Structure 1
Amino acid sequence: MSESSRGTVLMLFICAFFWGSTFPVAKFVLNEMDGLSLAIWRFVIAASLLALYMLYRRERITRLSLAQWALVIVAGVVGIGAFNWALFTGLTQTAATNGALIMALSPLVTNLLVAIIQKRWLTLPQGLGIALALLGVLLVITDGQLQRLLQLQFNHGDQLVILGMLAWSAYTVCSQYISRWLALLPFTLLSMLAGCGALLLMSLAQSASHPVAALANLSWTATAGVLYVSIFATVLGYLLWLNGVKVLGPATASLFFNLVPVFSALTALLLGQPLTAIQLLGMVIVLSGLMLAPLWQRLRRRRATA
């Protein structure tokens, strides 16, 4: 593994930490603000900060064709607007465990999409790595009580989370193609603006959502939570994720999404919630699944040069 690849892997670990730690923070904020309003302010603040940073760096957006503009906008509407709306709305109608289990399928779906598009199927180590990581995630989420999976009942909220998971997987795959002709910062900003526009339209269509009033009535601690979600989980998180997809490809980068529930559990531990031995075992299995394919490739290269 090259130095740049090692740096990218580290960045994806940091990204997973930001996203994992966001779950308990967002759960706290959602006690004072509806999910759609949180999603809107998350990307309004994030897009504003990115725009200011691009102005500071005097970075311009590459001239794009009409088809390229359309693809960037669709990617933002699907991967940011639809994903966040479906996830937050779905979680208000289903259990958090159901939502986490469904989102855990994202790396598998992403790899399947890549295999179909590129007509290149998974190798045995890649398949085993995905299966191991998924098993580890299930152990973390269910606390080792895998029989609980048989007791799950899927409702409309679950269907929305499935829609969100598919949207995120499609966004991850699409972003690698877009990164070939559009730099990381402009793509992140434009996709956030498109997604934010879609969320604002959804808010106008829902009389129960009042983003401005919701933000004005937040406590200081909840406001700090919104800023954390906007800056760390969104600005930094998305930049690190899209860079990982660009360097490693969507199939490999998507595996690091399995670390999100791991870091979520560790963050909950820091906040005073207990962590069991089974959950720790699940975390070890997740890491083993992530390392399996790279170690297998390194072993094959050594055998080839021996």
Structure 2
Amino acid sequence: MNKYKIYGVLVFVMLLWGVNVVALKLLVGAFAPVTMTAFRILFAGIAVLVFLKVTKSLRKITLKELLFITMVGFFNVVCHHFFLSTGLKETSASNGALILGLSPILTTICAVFFLGTRLTFFRFIGVVSGFSGVAFIVLAGSGAVTGGTKGDLFVFLSILTQAISYVFIRRASTTLDARLMTGWMLVTGSAFLLGISFILEPNGLQTMAQTRVDLWLLFLGSALLATAFGHMVYNQAVQHIGPAESSIFVNLNPFFALVSSAIFLKEEIQAAQLFGFLFIVAGVLLGSGLIDKWFNQKKNTINSHV
């Protein structure tokens, strides 16, 4: 697949992920959030493993790989999806989507602390810009410095734990196929989430006895398209064009989610949210190292002609 086809597929995946934020907002309103999330992730994990089995890419994993998968599953599945589902219960889909746009910046911060990535001037400015954008978004919904909602905090914690998981993914990717890791971490993570749901939501299974066809179609679409298909395709794109170039497309995720929340949930898009979104986009471009890469390329080009 050539680079431009990969770009097109990535745009489609970001559209799926953006609409999925709205889908999750509707699903957590109809089902017990943690219970629903556990079954949604389980469906996605099984779908990935079935796909790998059909394509003859499924293999046994070693004990060391299992330990990595468990760590990744704890942060990327259990913590991330627990905080995301409960957070969306307490905040708007548009706020949640825009805060999720911080993911590349938090990943950069974790890389600085755990992988020895250098914190350049541009990256530091990017981190400040990104967090400033989130501040605008939270204040737009609360109207006061101390009024940030618990839902906003939970959504922030969801992407923080996901960013931490990328450190373990980076360490495990030398021996373990990303798609194989995705399938197993979704299955193992969903088992942990199901156990948590029995404690926090003792009546959670009863809420899954919904008879509305539209809700179940939304559930399956979220599990199979956004989670299973989306994560496999994104991981493959990272392998082909690299994480830095792939991360550019993550900027489209909050944009699609913001538009979807306005269309499907009739949520009003506020000027402060758009202002905050611009800060987050600038923060991602600076914080992900893309500006550093462009600056260094220009510098090398100039030096080569001197």
TM-score (norm 1): 0.79
Tell me the equivalent position of 1:74: 71
- 1:216 equivalent to 2:171? Answer no
Tell me the equivalent position of 2:304: 305
In 2, Cα distance between equivalents of 1:98 and 1:283: 10
Tell me the equivalent position of 2:119: 122
Q: Which runs of 5+ in 2 are unaligned?
A: none
In 1, Cα distance between equivalents of 2:160 and 2:80: 8
Tell me the equivalent position of 1:164: 158
SS in 1 for 2:145: helix
What is the 5 A alignment of 1:98-113?
103-113=100-110
- 1:51 equivalent to 2:45? Answer no
Which residue of 139, 150, 154 corresponds with 2:145?
150
In 1, Cα distance between equivalents of 2:279 and 2:148: 27
- 1:203 equivalent to 2:200? Answer no
- In 2 relative to 1, CA 165–125 (structure 1 residues): closer, same or farther, beyond 3 Å? same
Contact residue 135 and residue 282 of structure 1 kept, 8 A? yes
- In 2 relative to 1, CA 207–290 (structure 1 residues): closer, same or farther, beyond 3 Å? closer
Contact residue 104 and residue 137 of structure 1 kept, 8 A? no
In 2, Cα distance between equivalents of 1:126 and 1:172: 18
Contact residue 76 and residue 194 of structure 1 kept, 8 A? yes
Tell me the equivalent position of 1:177: 171
SS in 1 for 2:42: helix
Q: Give the Å deviation of 1:163.
A: 3.9
Tell me the equivalent position of 2:183: 189
In 1, Cα distance between equivalents of 2:72 and 2:87: 21
CA displacement, residues 175-219 of structure 1 (integer Å, 9 cap, x when unaligned): 1222211112211111111111111111232353433x4333141
Bigger shift: 245-254 or 42-51?
245-254
CA displacement, residues 224-245 of structure 1 (integer Å, 9 cap, x when unaligned): 1111211222012222343455
SS in 2 for 1:37: helix
Which residue of 8, 32, 36 corresponds with 1:34?
32
CA displacement, residues 90-116 of structure 1 (integer Å, 9 cap, x when unaligned): 444566677567645443332111112
Give the CA RMSD over aligned residues: 3.5
Q: Percent identity?
A: 21
In 1, Cα distance between equivalents of 2:262 and 2:153: 30
Bigger shift: 29-38 or 280-289?
280-289
- Number of paired residues? 298
Q: 1:150 is matched by which residue type in structure 2? A: V
In 1, Cα distance between equivalents of 2:45 and 2:224: 10
- In 2 relative to 1, CA 128–153 (structure 1 residues): closer, same or farther, beyond 3 Å? closer
In 1, Cα distance between equivalents of 2:89 and 2:216: 21
- 1:265 equivalent to 2:263? Answer no
Contact residue 176 and residue 246 of structure 1 kept, 8 A? no
What is the 5 A alignment of 1:135-146?
135=132, 141=137, 145=140
Q: 1:46 is matched by which residue type in structure 2? A: A
Tell me the equivalent position of 1:237: 230
Bigger shift: 69-78 or 114-123?
114-123
Contact residue 132 and residue 288 of structure 1 kept, 8 A? yes
Q: 2:216 is matched by which residue type in structure 1? A: T
